[in-house]
Amino acid sequence: MLPDIENLLKLQEADKEIRRLQEEIAELPKRVAAIEQTLAGTKVQLDKAQAAAKADEAARRKYETAITDLRGKISKYRDQSLEVKTNDQYKALLHEIQFAEQEIAATEDKILEIMVNADAREKEVKSAQAELKAETAEIEKEKEQARQRTAEDEKLLGEWKAKRDQLRASIDSDLLRHYERVLKLRGTGISEVADHKCMACQVMLRPQTYNEVRTGQHTVVCDSCQRILYFNPANEVVEPKIVVKRPRRHHPKIDASQAWYFRENYDDAGEVYVCLTNSQGQASRRVYEIHTGRMIGDILIREGDYRHAFPEDITGAIRLNGDWSEEELDAWGTEAPMVVLDALQADLEAARYEMSTRTAKTQAHAPVPSEQAAG
Ligand SMILES: [Zn+2]
């Protein structure tokens, strides 16, 4: 990795940390302000409760005064009643006294109501006072914590800023300018490349660009988002390639005097090996069942070479390696030995594998008949 890239990554980390610290420092007074607002709410509640208690007290005094006045009136009416001359006058005074007494009873009820309420009022005031006290203690604690946290953050911020300045000084100035321009615009100025993509904008890179980033000989920017690209080998996705090593198959000679074929559907016998041999202007054919090696039918002899004598056995069959002498074939009698069957089986597998890889390679084109299949 280029030293400039390494420093840019460190710079990015420093920028991120500086931003986080600045945000945290800005956030702390907001938290204190939120608690103070709750505190103000509790204060309002307390004020209300105290005002209500005061109003009740004033009302009670007013009622008591009213009662005193009414009692004064009653005693005055009683004095007057001793001096009245007529029955009507007497009745009128008595009526006044009754009226004042009723009023005293009603006012006494009101005082009683206030006294009953006074207990509830007192409880309200006391709980608001306790709440205020607790909240005040809490806010003091919070404020102290915020103060400490801010002091720590400020110290770290100073350290990170010094680190950032040092890093900035060590980076090529043009590259730094580019980094900061993209950072301002997009929030980040550098992006990792993985899986042939710019991880920030997810755009696929051209193979040449990808290789330039990967080899890390000079700095490369993303065509799409303009971020400076870097490659981290530790994050490289290595796809495990399972390669089955097979020895290259030896191909049978087209003009060999003996040829072995594998046929899938031979009459009722199913899978068979067919052995065709040219000898002195004649062709002979032997057919063996592939698992038991048992010979099916008799040796068939026709005029000419086997390609012309037994075309039906060659078409659609798989050509295999195998070369045993006429004497050996005769010596097997009606049963091919196990070692021969194993050799043919191994070659059949190799031939099939070869065909499957060839098919995979030519899949895009028209299927090409294999040499083995065509014979
Ligand atoms: Zn990009």
pLDDT score, position 225 = 95
pLDDT given at position 199: 94
What residues does 197 pair with on adjacent strands? Answer: 194, 204
Query: pLDDT under 50 in the chain at which residues?
Result: 366-375
Q: How far is the CA of 168 from the centre of ligand 1 (A)?
A: 23
How remote is the CA of residue 211 from the centroid of ligand 1, in Å? 15
The per-residue pLDDT for 369 is 46
Pairing relation of β-strands 282-289 and 270-279? Answer: antiparallel
Rounded distance from Cα 68 to ligand 1 centre (Å): 92
**pLDDT score, position 241:** 59
* Span from the CA of 229 to the centroid of ligand 1 (angstroms): 8
CA 105 – ligand 1 centroid, Å: 90
Residues 3-23: pLDDT tens digits? Answer: 999 999 999 999 999 999 999
Q: What is the pLDDT of residue 260?
A: 93
Burial of 6 (0-12, 13-18, 19+ CB in 10 A): middle
Distance 167 CA to ligand 1 centre (A): 24
Task: Kindly give the distance from the C-alpha atom of residue 214 to the centroid of ligand 1, in angstroms, as a whole number.
Answer: 15
Dist. CA 238 → ligand 1 center (Å):
22
Please tell me the distance between residue 196's alpha carbon and the centre of ligand 1 in angstroms: 11
DSSP string, 80-107: HHTT--SHHHHHHHHHHHHHHHHHHHHH
Q: How far is the CA of 160 from the centre of ligand 1 (A)?
A: 27
Tell the residue number behind the tokens 């420092």, with chain if given. Answer: 25
Q: Which of 350, 322, 352 is nearest to 336 (CA)?
A: 322
Q: How many A from CA of 205 to the centre of ligand 1?
A: 9
- What distance in Å separates the CA atoms of residue 3 and residue 72, rounded to the nearest whole number? 104
Torsion of CA 218, 224, 230, 234, to 10 degrees: -140
Query: Which spans in the chain are helix H?
Result: 3-81, 87-170, 173-186, 207-215, 306-309, 311-314, 326-332, 338-361, 371-374
Whole-model pTM? 0.47
Ligand 1 centre distance from Cα of residue 203 (Å): 6
CB 176 within 8 A of CB 47: no
Calculate how far, in angstroms, residue 179's C-alpha sits from the geometric centre of ligand 1.
Answer: 13
Per-residue pLDDT at 326: 83
**What count of residues does the chain have?**
375
Nearest to 300 by CA among 346, 344, 251, 267: 267
For residue 195, report the distance from its CA to the centre of ligand 1, in Å. Answer: 13
How far, in Å, is the centroid of ligand 1 from the Cα of 252?
A: 55
What per-residue confidence (pLDDT) applies to 374?
42
**Cα Rg, the chain, nearest whole Å:** 55
CA of 161 to the centre of ligand 1 (A): 28
> Smallest Cα–Cα separation from 290: which of 306, 310, 269?
269
